[in-house]
Each structure stands twice: as C-alpha cells, then as structure tokens.
A = this chain, B = another copy of it.
Amino acid sequence: MEVLNRQRCFEGEQLRVQHRSQSLDCDMTFSLYLPPAARGGVVPLLYWLSGLTCTDENFVQKAGAQRYAAEHGVAIVAPDTSPRGEGVADDPEGAWDFGLGAGFYVNATESPWDRHYRMYDYIVDELPALLAEEFPVDVERASIFGHSMGGHGALVIALRNPAKFQSVSAFAPIVAPSQCPWGEKALGQYLGPDRENWKNYDSCALIEAGALQLPMLVDQGDADDFLEEQLRTGLLEQACADTGYEATIRYQSGYDHSYFFISSFVGSHIAFHARALEHSLAED
C-alpha cells in the first residue's frame, strides 16, 4: 500500500492511496478523507460509490463533502468504479457505460469479466479490511452512499449487508438495473443472460424479496435527463410501498444529474448518516 498524496483540507487530510487488490487482481487507487477528529482516535466511516466513467477523484474534487465530514467527524472513502490497468478487459468499442469505469459493483461470473470485475467483494470485504488495518477508521460503524451507478451499488450493498451498515443513501440511483438499458447491458454481460442471477444486484428486487429495514434516503432531481429511462425512481417507490419498506425518497425540483445537484444535498446526506452512526454508538 502506498499513500500517493496527502493534502490538508478543512483541517483534516485528503489522501490518495494505491494498493494491490486481491479480489480484483490489479492495482487500485482510492481516495480517503480523514476529518480532524481522526487525529484523536478512530472515526466512523462513510463509503462513497461513484457513477459511470468516474474514478476515485470526481467526488473528492467536486462534491464539497469534506466540510461536512470535518464537521461531523466522519471519514469518507471513495473507491474507483472498476478494476483498472493493462490486462483488465474493457468493452471492445470502449463504451463509457460498460467495462472500465463501469463495474456496476457486481462480482462478474462470465468470461472474460470474471477475472477482474469483482467490485462487490472489493467494497464489501477487501476495502474494509484494508482500511481497518491501516487507518484510524471504525469499519464497524459505517454507512454507504453513492451516485447513479454508485447509488445502485450503495443500495444493493447495504440491502444485502444490513448488519454492516447503519444507513444508506443515494443520489439519482439506478434503482432497478434489471429494468433499464444501462443495467441490462451491464448485468447481461457481467452475469450472463439468466435474469434470476441479476436479482442479487437489483435494489427493487432485493426489497421485494424482503430485505431488512435500515435507514434509507434517496434524492432525485426532477430535471435529470436519465430519470425516465435509466433511473426509474418510481420503481423504488413502488417496491417500498409494496413491502412496507420505509425510505425517504425526495424529488428535488429543477436539479439535474450533475455534481451541482450532489453538492447541493451532500451536506444533508452526511448529516443523515451521522445521525444513524451516532445512534448506533448510543446503542453499544
């Protein structure tokens, strides 16, 4: 593991870290913000999962999240969105919605993707273990959020691991990848044609199948060009209504799919997670 950069930010530190990933079988880079409180002991951890085409850097540079993380005393780790490097298979035509930058947070089962594309294991198991060993973060007190493809990843990972996360939130998530072109393209190639195998990576399917309740917040801009065809927030509302799953799903008037939308509400999301993390501490 190598710390590539260490930059002061809101009295804490913004780090960029490179390491060899076992689950992905390649070198990976993630960003980690440590709030000033981390100088005095371990702090709770937020996972941020980014959307299509992003690396670990987009959120760190554009969301303006460090201010809120510093205020609430939480760390934020922002991993990359796919395996990287020579030898990692990519879409033959270099599409931006599949392959590099588009791992969809799944464990691929189909060749050639199954060799490296195991982002689910990377986020759920490998990254927490590394962080717990190397940094002053308490991975037992963790929450997860993300944007678009990363909102899908955050919801799926939290719904499948409710004991590992105190809360989950998402900006403009792909709520039902089984029912939109981005998701059908990606899951069809990573997981093969049998749609039964997709259900483990589909938030709406997981909720319909009886996922355990945890605090959930979703923000969706109503001027988001991807809302109707790809994101389909209404399907999440329906799944929650069908099953009595309690989620706060907000439509934000006039907002689009960009980081201007994320930056406007990231403070609200971090406060939401901080409350859940404090609550978990009070219960200990």
Interface residues, chain A, with chain B CB atoms under 8 Å away: 7-11, 14, 61-62, 64, 66-67, 221, 223, 252-256, 258-261, 263-264, 267
Contact = CB atoms under 8 A, between A and B. Distances in A.
Nearest to A58: B61
Contacts of A264: 8-11, 66-67
Nearest to A260: B9
Given A14-B260, A260-B14, A263-B66, A254 B8 contact: yes
Given A9-B260, A66-B264, 19 more contacts: A7-B256, A7-B258, A7-B260, A7-B261, A8-B252, A8-B253, A8-B254, A8-B255, A8-B256, A8-B260, A9-B263, A9-B264, A10-B264, A11-B264, A61-B61, A62-B62, A66-B260, A67-B264, A67-B267
Copies of chain A in the complex: 2
Contacts of A64: 64, 67, 263
Classify the interface of chain A: helix, strand, loop or mixed: mixed
A221 B8 contact: yes
A36 to B, nearest CB: 11
Q: Which of A62, A67, A258, A260 has the most CB of B within 10 A?
A: A260
8 contacts: A7-B261, A8-B253, A8-B254, A8-B256, A8-B260, A9-B263, A61-B61, A61-B62
Nearest to A13: B254
Q: Which of A61, A66, A252 has the most CB of B within 10 A?
A: A61
Nearest to A64: B64
Contacts of A260: 7-9, 14, 66
Nearest to A265: B10
Closest 5 CB pairs of A and B: A64-B64, A9-B260, A8-B254, A7-B260, A8-B255
Contacts of A62: 61-62
Contacts of A61: 61-62, 259
A219 to B, nearest CB: 12
A66 B267 CA distance: 13
